[in-house]
Structure 1
Amino acid sequence: MRKCLVVEGRADKLRLVPILAEEVTILCTNGTISEVDLIDLLEAFEHDEIVTFFDADKNGEKLRKLMNRVYPEAKQYTIPAQYIEVEKTPTAILRDLLQQAKFLVR
C-alpha cells in the first residue's frame, strides 16, 4: 500500500524529504483548510495509507480534529510540544516519528 504524508506547509515538507529513504507523496494543507478543500486534496489518495505530521499548536490541533472527522482512519503524529513546529523539530526526533509511522528513513 502506498503512503501519503500530510503536513501543514512547504517548509515542513522540505524538512522531511531529506530524512525519508523512500519515495513518499507529501501533501501540504497550507495552514488552515476547509473540510471540502481537505477532501479535494486527499481524494486521489483515499486508498493509500494517510499519515499526518501537524504542528503542536492551535492550527495543528484544528487540522487533527478535521482529519479525525473526515479521515478517521488516518494515522496522526504530533510534534512534541516543546518544538511546536515540524520545521523546528530536531532531525533525530523527526526520524523517530517517521520510523514509528513505518517510513524508511536515512
Structure 2
Amino acid sequence: MKRELLEKVIIVEGKSDKRKVENIIREPIEIICTNGTLGLSKLDELIDILIDKDVYILVDADAAGEKLRRQFKSELPEAEHLYIDKMYKEVATAPEHHLATVLIGADIDIYTEFLDRG
C-alpha cells in the first residue's frame, strides 16, 4: 500500500535534521529521513512515492551527504537540491537563520522570525 504524501517533500538524513527544519517551516511539508545512505530497494520504494511531488533534498555538507545527493540526482533528477554552507557541515547544527535563508530561497514558507536571528 502506497503512503500518501503532501505535495511538497523535503528529504533529510536524520531525525535531528528533521526536527530542526520542522521548527522553521510554516507551510505543510512532509519531511522524510533517510537515516543515512539508502540501498537500491529502499531508494526505489521512496522514489515510487515521490512521483508528482515537489521534492527538495537537504543533506549534510559531508561525504555521506554528497553520496546521498548523487543517488538522488541519478534516480530523481527533477528534485531541487538545497545546500547549507560547508562551514556548518550538518543540517542539525546549522544556525536556524541560515536554514531559513536556504529554505526561503526555494520558495518554502518559513517563520520569518528565524531570518531576524542572524
Question: Cα offset for 1:79?
Answer: 1.5
Structure 2 segments unaligned to the other structure (5+ residues): 1-5, 112-118
Question: Root-mean-square deviation (CA), in Å?
Answer: 1.2
Q: Which residue of 1 aligns with 2:60?
A: 55
Look up the equivalent residue of 1:55 and give its one-letter code: D
Structure number with greater CO (CA < 8 Å, separation at least 6) is 1
Look up the equivalent residue of 1:13 and give its one-letter code: K
Equivalent pairs counted in the alignment come to 106
For 1:105 and 1:72, the matched residues in 2 are separated by 25
Q: Which residue of 1 aligns with 2:25?
A: 20
Look up the equivalent residue of 1:17 and give its one-letter code: E
Q: Which residue of 2 aligns with 1:31?
A: 36
| Pick aligned residue for 2:80 from 58, 61, 75 | 75
Percent of counterpart pairs with the same letter? 33
Greater gyration radius: 2
Normalized against structure 1, the TM-score is what?
0.95
For 1:88 and 1:29, the matched residues in 2 are separated by 18
Q: Is residue 66 of structure 1 aligned with residue 66 of structure 2? A: no
Normalized against structure 2, the TM-score is what?
0.85
| Pick aligned residue for 2:100 from 82, 95, 100 | 95
- Do the aligned residues in 1 keep the contact of 2:56 with 2:82 (CA within 8 Å)? yes
